[in-house]
Amino acid sequence: MAGIYIYSDKGPLAAELVGFAKTTGKAVNIVTFDQNSAASAAEYGADKVYLLAGDSLLVENNARAAAKFLMNEEAELFLVGSTPRGRDIAARIAGYLQCAMVSDVSSIVINDGQVSTERMIYGGAVIQSEMIDGMAVLTIPPGKFEAASGTAEIATVNINADSRVSLITTAPIVKKGVDISAADKIVCIGLGMEKKQDMQIAQDLAQVLGAEISCTRGIAEERQWLPQYIGISGETVKPSLYLSMGVSGQVQHVVGMREAQIIVGIDINDKAPIFDAADYGIVGDMFEIVPLLIQEIKNI
Ligand SMILES: Cc1cc2nc3c(=O)[nH]c(=O)nc-3n(C[C@H](O)[C@H](O)[C@H](O)COP(=O)(O)OP(=O)(O)OC[C@H]3O[C@@H](n4cnc5c(N)ncnc54)[C@H](O)[C@@H]3O)c2cc1C
């Protein structure tokens, strides 16, 4: 069946890609490789979920069969969640199909069979627009589209997986801290905060707001105060509220949070670029402003 095909090993991201695909009016199909993923994917609002059942769960072994399936179905576009596994299978499938591939796309427009995409390059300083004729494979990070929901039927298709790669062992990645990409409210600290003990003020604000704490790259990588940071090389977040303290708002940071519903920036420098991104800007010393803010929120 022609239409848009979707794969993501992260279920919520698959639902976001369905959310976009449904806006095109084309048939929307999800591809999965195991029964559990197929069962979850059946709730993401697609028209159909295909379980490509082979005897391997490895991307390396399934990509060729998946490419053949997409070709047989005359898929018009293959959208893949931009995760390590997603990027791996996307590249392999684009290679087998000998079609265009664009990675980490932030916007997609389909017009008369032509696909126009936008994505950030040069560390987020430039947005590159591309136009593709015919079949394309696109990888898309989380947080770009609203997730869809709804029930779909599951069709099982037997595939001949390669057996050239064997899995020897697996070990879980132990992720430190909360999953900041799923946080509804975020208090973000930047290098304007100089002493680690001052994080207490951010924690107090986060507590009254019911928010999680995150930071800029320097806080995480140089000072190692927190495990995860927001930005082009960190996490992409889409909270209802993002509030920064001592974050200058460089583009590499802002690209990771600019889709927050409400952005509040507190910075002592009235020329800080955070104020270009912010819905509400407070110019002043965070150590004076934040205690007042906490008190006001408590009064409410
Ligand atoms: C290839 C590349 C990728 C990168 N990726 C990322 C990324 O993913 N995420 C990321 O965050 N960065 C990233 N960076 C780094 C980025 O360019 C900036 O250097 C960084 O975001 C700045 O962090 P900051 O805002 O914490 O610090 P600064 O830019 O130093 O800003 C500190 C701010 O605090 C303010 N301030 C100081 N004292 C106070 C006070 N008492 N009260 C209120 N405000 C105060 C200052 O006025 C200033 O605006 C990347 C850089 C490169 C080159």
Tell me the per-residue pLDDT of 268-280, one tens digit each, with 9 for 90 and over: 999 999 999 999 9
Domain 180-299: CATH class, spelled out: alpha beta
Question: Domain limits of the chain?
Answer: 3-158, 180-299
Expressed in angstroms and rounded, the spacing between residue 167 Cα and the centre of ligand 1 is 41
pLDDT-derived band at 176 (thresholds 50, 70, 90) equals confident
Q: Which atom of ligand 1 is nearest to the CA of 233?
A: 8
pLDDT-derived band at 300 (thresholds 50, 70, 90) equals confident
Cα–Cα distance measured from residue 68 to residue 156, given in angstroms and rounded to the nearest whole number: 15
pLDDT at 298: 94
Residue 292, pLDDT > 80, answer yes
Expressed in angstroms and rounded, the spacing between residue 247 Cα and the centre of ligand 1 is 5
Which residue from 187, 191, 266 has its CB within 8 A of the most atoms of ligand 1, so it is best to mutate? 191
State mean pLDDT over 287-298. Answer: 97
State mean pLDDT over 6-25. Answer: 96
Which amino acid residue places its CA nearest to atom 50 of ligand 1?
252
pLDDT tens, residue by residue, 61-110? 999 999 999 999 999 999 999 999 999 999 999 999 999 999 999 999 99
Q: Which of 237, 213, 233, 211 minimizes the C-alpha distance to 225?
A: 213
The answer to whether the beta carbons of residues 135 and 97 sit under 8 Å apart is: yes
Quote the mean pLDDT of the chain.
Answer: 95
Which residue from 188, 193, 217 has its CB within 8 A of the most atoms of ligand 1, so it is best to mutate? 217
Residue 125, pLDDT > 80, answer no
Q: Which two tokens stand for residue 158?
A: 């037997």
Domain 3-158: CATH class, spelled out: alpha beta
Residue 122, pLDDT > 80, answer no
* DSSP one-letter string for the chain: --EEEEE-SSHHHHHHHHHHHHTTTS-EEEEESSHHHHHHHTTB--SEEEEEE-S---HHHHHHHHHHHHHHTTEEEEEEE-SHHHHHHHHHHHHHHT-EEE-S-SEEEEETTEEEEEEEEGGGTEEEEEEEES-EEEEE-TTSSPPP-B--EEEEEE-----S------------S--GGG-SEEEEE-TT---GGGHHHHHHHHHHHT-EEEE-HIIIIIS-SSS--BSTTSB----SEEEEES----HHHHTTTTT-SEEEEEES-TT-THHHH-SEEEES-HHHHHHHHHHHHHH-
pLDDT tens, residue by residue, 17-39? 999 999 999 999 999 999 999 99
Q: 91-107: buried (b, 16+ CB within 10 Å) or exposed (e) per residue?
A: bbbbebbebbbbbbbbe
State mean pLDDT over 180-208. Answer: 96
Residue 297 has phi, psi (to 5 degrees) of: -65, -40
